[in-house]
Each structure stands twice: as structure tokens, then as C-alpha cells.
Amino acid sequence: MKITYTAEEESFRQSVRAFVEAELDPGTRKKVLNGLNMSKQDYVGWHGKLATRGWSCPHWPQEHGGAGWSPMQHFIFDEETSNAGAPGMMPFGPDMVAPVIWTFGNEEQKKQHLPGILSGEVWWCQGYSEPNSGSDLASLRTKAERQGDHYIVNGGKTWTTLAQWADWMFCLTRTDSSGKKQEGITFLLIDMKTPGISVHPIITMEGGHEVNQVIFDNVKVPVANRIGEENKGWTYAKFLLGYERSGMAGIPQAKRALARLRAIAADQEDADGTLAENPRFRRKMSDVEIQIVTLEATMLKLLAQQVQGKTPGPEASFIKIRGTEIDQLLTELTMEAVGPYVAPFAPEALDTGWNEEPIGPDYAAPVAPGYFNTRKVTIYGGSNEIQKNIIAKHVLGL
Amino acid sequence: MLSFDLTDEQQLLKDSVERFIERSYPFDKRRASSKSDEGFSREHWKQFADLGWLAVGLPEEQGGFGGAREVAVLMEAFGRGLVTEPWLASVLLAGGTIARAGSAEQQEELLGALIAGESVMAFAHGEPKSRYDIARVETTAKKAGDGWKLDGHKAVVLNGDAADRLVVSARTAGKARDKEGISLFVVDPKAGGVEVRGYPTNDGGRAAEVKLSGAAGTLLGAEGKAYAVIEETIDRAAAAVCAESLGLMDVLNAMTLDYSKTREQFGQKIGAFQALQHRMADMFVALEEARSLADVYMADVDSDDLAERQRAVSALKVQCDKSARKVGQEAIQLHGGIAMTDDYQASHYFKRLSIIARQFGDVDWHLDRYAALTQ
């Protein structure tokens, strides 16, 4: 696709480029471009810089702090920030709970929570999955019992991403078990500092600590922190999932991963030249590139609708399926490109400040952990099997 | 004549190693020894010696027994147990190379200690830029008095940090990628000019970068003629990890099936969903295909006909890697989040399969070789 840009769009691109150039922390940028471990400050720092410019949550409605951009401006912004090595936005606040708050929350809740999300000062986590409620999310059992002005919450959530950094959690709780499982769920906002909450790390197969188990032991949550009505939480939860899934296309990240793959392939020597010159490997890289631009075309259409105020529907499931499949394909091809040097396990090499000689090429250390970790993407956010059920049921009418 | 059945001796070996894995090699013990300094248990290594497993695939004159099928029996069981002891590195790679290249004297000295469990050895052949190209040897060896001095960098040397002897390939003539002019040497890693940097690997094992600067080496076999020996060593290793992958896949399929019969979502066992049933059927087929190929073609790895051997090895590696990709990825997906965790065993089996796919030639490398042999 040859996109032609208007003079305004070109000038917008220049202003984004100049901003990133001036404001993006070089340490953060290095981590992003080399797949190294990120700190909370890397995310929060960049978010804060964007917030001062009014660009932290550009896709929000303008009345809440959105930028009021055209779809093309969003596209340009994503491309420029990603190319420059800016970290992605953590989705939990800006993409997930914020739309729920401005759509279903009361004025008090909007005033209390939206500014902190916009500025990046408040970190959110998602309390959805439970040990026995994964794909079957609505079967969740974390109990919230009403006692006067409070709910008393007991139970536990799992796979809670970066709960160790979170100030608040949006949480699905069971307030009624008498009827259909979807009908007794209540959507609560929980301050993570409340007594009775404990966060337990879950170490994933590559050795990282990203997800957690969060246990609630008689946690008092004010009724004022309930979104909408009691027992109507499933409606809000599903609304949120649409936003979550359409945010999972990860086009800029995929393009960056492809660029890294190409650079690695160009460095790996093959029988007749480099791996990047090997016709078969070139075809593999081109194949994934075509998949990326195809998904990008779909996203551009969806973005146009979203800017016009349309809530993402079941088509978001399709974005989630393809975006995550492409992520996995990229990490797998990168394994293939690196070859025997995927074997060394060097977690210390993923921390900045580690200055020893790398084992093998300096790009090798994050590759196998990246491949292993990325197996999660077709599981989380509603597994891809669940997404196919949604398409079958709600799009195809089966 | 085709025989898929194991001989009585092979069956005895299989029973003994499977019993050991089942009774004496629990996962928590494996995990602990995997995290130890050497990455394996010397106690287990001694047991391997006592049980005769360190002789498998080595020449009868030195007390060894069996060929590719015996190796496969052992490796498949090692796959089931995710064994980290350096059998592949020490017995198959280093020992096998010594058996093919060494003089009678060298064999007796080195293999005797190896089979007795007194010595651990490693095979230092791959280099930072060689990928899977067997002839790409840039490490050099030059005559110095009665011996040789070696210079170069050997990459991802399996169990190189536990070895008391290294079998090192180096160029004595020609240029990188020439098949002629490659020689083999025995190097004492404790001697001067050898730097061994050990590290854990993503599959729970260990490896090392070995840097040689004027390191003393003893020539093993004929000067400049080691290519064919090394090629056979790599072929045998490729076939061995194929057999290992059968054991790994079998465990993953069993775990997935078992989980699907116990995990409930939407009010039923997830194994009741037809979409998942079909995928488990595909996983079953993937393993059975790999197993069939291995049962029939593993014996060809012992063939004296080079083309026959290489076709068999390449077919095996292509099929086993493809089956392993399917089984490994699907096992994680069908379990869901639980299999993403370090606590859950499936993730460790998946990781080992993922590393095997990058050892001793990947799918494309073996497809190329197979295609060249079929022209």
C-alpha cells in the first residue's frame, strides 16, 4: 500500500519524531530495541512525558483527555514511536479499565481515576482469571459479600500481569450464585494497598516474573468503588474485553520484531552469503511481512470506526487471533535465525548494566526467552480458541 | 529384512533404563541437579556406568556394545526423564569420535576411563559462525615440537565445563569450509591456553564457550582427514536427539491428555470439546509418524553406505522436528496458562524440544541435504 500523506500529516509526523527524539530516555530506548528487561519506571517515565504533551491516551474521547486525532494520525504516531524504540503502553489502565470507567462509571469515579490513568501515575492490573476460571471466565468464584457500605472480598485471582507494580486492580467478583453464572458478577475497583491483599509471584518458563497470584483475605472494598450495578459486571467485563482484544494487534511491535529478525539474518552467515540472502529464508520473512501488512490494513479500518465512536465488536477477536499468531511466528523465526546460540540461558544479560562479554552474538540472549514467553499470547486475553467461538457464535451465527 | 521388534538385549536395556527413569529420576531431583554447578549428578553418572549405559554405541573391543538402535532406546528414555547427565556429550559425541578416529592405544586409554565413569568428555566442534556447517572450522592447529598448539573459539560445547578431556576439531590445512584439512585433537581443559566459560542452557543442561590460545593438543587420528569422522558423529547425534524427542513428545501427549480429562471449564472436561479432541488426535498422529520413521530407519544410521545413512538421518531430523514443533506448541496451548509456568513440568519438556530443533542441523538444513542426496 502506498499511503500518500498530506502536508499536515507530514508535519505531524515531524512533530512526533522531534518529540520522541527529545524526550525518550536513551536507557529505555535501548531496552526496547534490544528486547531487554523493562522496569516500571521505563513505562511510567515515557507515559509521563507523553502526558505532558497530551499524547498519553490519544485514542480516548477528547473530553477525557484524548487527542482528537484522525485515524491517520494514530497510525503515524504508532509508527514513529515504535520505530524510535518507545515502550508500548501498558494496556490495563488506558485501554481496558478507562473505557469502562467513562462508559459505566459515575462522575465521582471518573474524577477519581481517569486523571491518574492519563498521567501514568496510577498503575492498574486486571483481576479476571482464577485458577479454575480461565477460558470459562464467567465461572469465577472470588466472593464479594455486602456488609453495609463495603464488600468483603475473599478468593484469589491468577495470571495477574505486573500486579507487583499495581496501585489498583479492576476485579470481577461473585455477588450472586443463585442464577446463571454471568448474572451474579460485580465489577469492583480495588486499591491494592487494602489490608488482606497478598501478591505471590508466578515464575514463567523463561524464568521471568511477570504474572502473579493475588489472594484476597477479607478485603474491605467500599461500595463506592463498584462500577455500575451489582450483578451486572459481566456486561462491563465483556465491553472491556473488546477493547483489550483490539489492542492486541501489536502491529508496531511486530514490525520492530521483523526489523530485528532481518538484522539478525543479515548477521548470520549461511552457505552462500548471509541468511538474509538465502532465498528460502527471505521468503519466510516476506511471508510474515505480508501477514503484518494484512493485519495492519484490518486495523486501519477498525481504527477508523473506533474514532467515529464505534465500540469494537466481535471483529476484535479476529485481530487478537491474527496478531498473536504473528507474534509467535516472529519469535519462532528469530529462533531459527539465531541457530545453535539460542541454547545459552543468560538471564543476567537481559538486565542493563550487565557489561560482560555476551555468549555468542549480543542479540542472542533474549531470543529463546522471547519465544518461550510468547507462547502465552494465544492463551491470554481470552484464548484463541475462545476467540474462534466468539466469531462462530456472534459473527457467523452458528 | 525389516524388524520393528527389539532384540532381547535391546528390550533388557529398555526395561532397565525406563525403570531407572521411573523410580530413580523424579522431576524434583532432576531440577535440583540441573541447577547445580555441573548441571547433573555425579552420583547418577556413576550409576549409569554401573548399569553399563556408558558403553552403549562404543566398540566391543573397548567393552562397548550396540549401535544406533541401542542408542535410540537409551535416548528415548532419557527424553522421558529430561535427563541432564552428559551422555550425549560424553559418550556419543566425544566417545564416538574417539572410537572412530583414535588409535588403538588412544581408544584404550580414553574410552576405558569413559566407560568406567571415571572421565567426562566433551566434543568441541561448532564455532561462533559455523551454524550447522560441519566443514566451517576456523580454529587452527600448528605443529610445535612433538605436539600441536591450537588457537580458536569453540561455541556451545555441550557439558564443556564438566569435561576432563575435550575432543577438539581444528584446521591443519586449507581454509574454512574446506572438507580437507580438518583434524581432531585431545585437549586437557585444565592445561594452559584453554579458557572454559560454562553456562546453563535453556533446556536445563549446560554448555561452554571454549577459547584456545596456544593450547596443547594431541592428534587424534589422521592429520587433515577428520571431516568424515565428524560428519558421522553429528549424524549419530542428530539421530540420537530424534530418539530423545520421541520420549519428550510421549510425555507431553500423555500430560495433555491427562489434563484434558481432569480440567473442567464450561461445566465439562475440556477433553470433551471436539475442537480439542481433533488437536489431540493430530498430536497423537505427529508422534506416531515420528516413531514409525524412527523404528524403521534408525538402523540405517549404522549403514556403511554414506548416502543411505545421511538420507535416513535427515529424514528423521526433519520429521521429528516437525512433529516436536506440533506436539510441543499444542501441549502448551491446550493446557493453557498452567503450562507457561516454571513449576509445571510440561514447560521443561517443551523447552528441550525447542533446543533440539536448533541442534545438529535444523529442518531446512536437513531438507537441503536430503534434496541434494535425492537428485
Minimal-distance CA residue of chain B relative to A372: B351
Minimal-distance CA residue of chain B relative to A381: B337
Whether chain B has a CB inside 8 Å of the CB on A139: the answer is yes
Tell me the nearest-neighbour CA distance from B192 into chain A, angstroms.
21
- In this prediction, residues A116-141 reach a mean pLDDT of 95
How confident is the model at residue A88, as a pLDDT? 86
Bridge partners of A130, per DSSP, are A133
- Closest by Cα among A191, A200, A177, A185 to A219: A191
- In this prediction, residues B346-373 reach a mean pLDDT of 98
3-state class of B225 per DSSP? Answer: strand
Instruction: Give residue-wise pLDDT tens across range B303-320.
Output: 999 999 999 999 999 999
Q: Is the pLDDT of residue A71 over 80?
A: no
For residues B368 and A312, which has the higher predicted lDDT (pLDDT)? B368
Contact B224, B182 (CB under 8 A): yes
Using a CB-CB distance cutoff of 8 angstroms, which residues of chain A are in contact with residue B199? 344-346, 359
- In this prediction, residues B321-328 reach a mean pLDDT of 98
Dig out the grid coordinates for B361 from the structure: 542441523
- Choose the weakest-confidence range: A24-33, A132-141, A345-354, B153-162: A345-354
- In this prediction, residues A35-52 reach a mean pLDDT of 95
User: What does pLDDT average to over chain A?
Assistant: 93
- In this prediction, residues A274-280 reach a mean pLDDT of 96
Using a CB-CB distance cutoff of 8 angstroms, which residues of chain B are in contact with residue A205? 340-342, 347-348, 350-351
Instruction: Give residue-wise pLDDT tens across range A201-221.
Output: 999 999 999 999 999 999 999
Per the CB < 8 Å rule, is B342 touching A375? no
- In this prediction, residues A144-149 reach a mean pLDDT of 97
- In this prediction, residues A23-36 reach a mean pLDDT of 93
- Choose the weakest-confidence range: A58-67, B131-140, B227-236, B357-366: A58-67
Instruction: Give residue-wise pLDDT tens across range B61-81.
Output: 999 999 999 999 999 999 999
Q: Which residues of chain A from 185 to 214 reach within 8 Å of chain B, CB to CB?
A: 202-205, 207, 211
Tell me the nearest-neighbour CA distance from A167 into chain B, angstroms.
24
Q: What is the DSSP letter of B179?
A: S
User: What does pLDDT average to over chain B?
Assistant: 96
| Helices and strands, number each (H, E), in chain B | 12, 9
Instruction: Give residue-wise pLDDT tens across range B280-296.
Output: 999 999 999 999 999 99
Bridge partners of B210, per DSSP, are B154, B196
Greatest Cα pair distance in chain A: 76
Per the CB < 8 Å rule, is B275 touching A385? yes
Contact B362, A336 (CB under 8 A): yes
Per the CB < 8 Å rule, is A346 touching B199? yes
Per the CB < 8 Å rule, is B347 touching A270? no
Residue B372 banded pLDDT, cuts 50, 70, 90: very high
For residues A265 and A306, which has the higher predicted lDDT (pLDDT)? A265
User: What sections of chain B are H helices per DSSP?
Assistant: 8-24, 27-34, 42-50, 68-81, 87, 96-101, 104-115, 227-262, 274-297, 306-335, 345-356, 363-374
Per the CB < 8 Å rule, is A269 touching B129? yes
How confident is the model at residue A65, as a pLDDT? 94
Tell me the nearest-neighbour CA distance from B340 into chain A, angstroms.
6
- In this prediction, residues B190-215 reach a mean pLDDT of 98
Using a CB-CB distance cutoff of 8 angstroms, which residues of chain A are in contact with residue B357? 335
Q: Which amino acid is at A287?
A: D
How confident is the model at residue B1, as a pLDDT? 46
Per the CB < 8 Å rule, is B155 touching A136? no
Run of H or E residues at A295: helix A279-307
* Dihedral sign, Cα of residue B236, residue A372, residue A357, residue A261: positive
Residue A35 banded pLDDT, cuts 50, 70, 90: confident
Tell which of B269, B340, B354, B369 to mutate to test the A interface (max A CBs under 10 Å).
B340
pTM of the predicted protein model: 0.95
Per the CB < 8 Å rule, is A345 touching B200? yes
Q: Is the pLDDT of residue A247 over 90?
A: no
CA angle (A332, A347, A82) in 5-degree steps: 55
Which of B155, B336, B341 shows the shortest C-beta gap to A360?
B155
Q: Is the pLDDT of residue B4 over 70?
A: yes
- In this prediction, residues A271-298 reach a mean pLDDT of 94
